[in-house]
Amino acid sequence: MNNEAKLTKYVKAAGCAAKLGPGDLTEALGGLSCTHKNVLVGMDTSDDASVYYLDEERALVQTVDIITPVVDDPFVYGQIAAANSLSDVFAMGGEVATAMNIVGFDGCHHPRSVLKEILAGGQNKVQECGAIIIGGHTIEAPEMTYGMSVTGFVHPKKIYRNNTPRIGDVLILTKPLGMGILTTAIKADMLENSVIEKVASILATLNHKASQIMRKYDVSACTDVTGFGLFGHASEMSFNQVTIAFEMQNIPILDEARALADMGIIPAGAYNNKSYLSSKVDAKVPHKDEIILYDAQTSGGLLIAVSQDDAPKLLQHLLDEGLTYSAIIAEILPLGEKPLLYM
């Protein structure tokens, strides 16, 4: 890793930990309407990307995402920001066609060569999923930000929404939790290089393969776990129509993140998410690592609702394809007292 550029040292918060809280966002978006006959998925269900009907074979999937640096290496930051932006299309079950760079460049602290490396990292990941960067826009900014506006396609009858799980399904998560905590520790220079490399490689992993695999099985809903944490996105998935029951011991959490959480290295975003969501959560067996379930993830994994019959096959397929943190973490139950519970 080339950490000389020290990208994370010149921003207030790292990655999705810098995201506006879900309460603030809901309020700000409340007055906006996007109802139209061609809008198949709009803003009303807090889904990952919008979907616009084109014809019987195709619908347009659009999404945009930018993040502040989560690692100090510019190329790797570029890869992670791209993986994070592209993920929303994969969560809808789509394929990416084109992407446009969006850059806020902190020219006061970084030379132009850093910008070049960031963009090269982004391009590397866009190419990996068979898409192409066709443009972009850069402004000077006091804090470094990078991400993409991404366009893809999905079959209008094969859209994977975030809020349509069936009772009896189970949830599979394809990446481990703890990334908000770990990137905060990276920013504070608290991690060894070997750990930073492990974290960076998880963050830079595209959800492309996971998405392609999931489409082969009996999947009812899918989303990606990002800024609102596992419980934030699970809450959107439950849509207050079902109860999602998590098994704490099965949820993949990096050991390094647990240790940091014990030390109190937990970004404010996790507490914001928790205070917004805690009324929806029933802690059957309170756990010391609970806060990690609210930890804001950058470039998190897919959260997939799959039938119980197909779950073991899908899980094995994901594991076989190198998505080694994948695990069955929850079950969809009829709506109980609260939409989320863990034990």
Q: Which residues bind other proteins (CB under 8 A)?
A: 12-13, 184-185, 188, 190, 261-268, 270-272, 275, 291
| Residue number, 153 or 271, with CB nearest to other proteins | 271
153 class by beta-carbon count within 10 Å (0-12 exposed, 13-18 middle, 19+ buried): middle
DSSP letter for 290, please.
G
| Residue number, 61 or 261, with CB nearest to other proteins | 261
In whole angstroms, the minimum distance from the beta carbon of 289 to other proteins comes to: 11
Reading phi first (left if > 0) and then psi (alpha if -120 to 50, else beta), residue 299 is in left
Residue keyed to tokens 């969006």: 102
14 class by beta-carbon count within 10 Å (0-12 exposed, 13-18 middle, 19+ buried): buried
* 125 closest CA partner among 110, 146, 104: 146
User: How far does the chain reach from its first CA to its final CA, in angstroms?
Assistant: 39
DSSP letter for 165, please.
P
- Alpha-carbon Rg for the chain in angstroms: 19
16 catalytic? Reply is yes
| Residue number, 298 or 326, with CB nearest to other proteins | 298
Q: How many other C-beta atoms are found inside a 10 Å radius of the C-beta of residue 229?
A: 30
Beta-bridged to residue 244, according to DSSP, are 332, 340
* Catalytic, out of 16, 34, 108, 222: 16
In whole angstroms, the minimum distance from the beta carbon of 259 to other proteins comes to: 10
In whole angstroms, the minimum distance from the beta carbon of 297 to other proteins comes to: 16
* 166 closest CA partner among 304, 305, 313, 328: 305
| Residue number, 128 or 289, with CB nearest to other proteins | 289
| Residue number, 10 or 271, with CB nearest to other proteins | 271
In whole angstroms, the minimum distance from the beta carbon of 312 to other proteins comes to: 37
In whole angstroms, the minimum distance from the beta carbon of 70 to other proteins comes to: 14
CA–CA separation, 199 and 194 (whole Å): 9
In whole angstroms, the minimum distance from the beta carbon of 288 to other proteins comes to: 9
Amino acid at 247: E
| Residue number, 111 or 264, with CB nearest to other proteins | 264
* 206 closest CA partner among 174, 182, 237, 171: 174
- Active-site residue numbers? 16
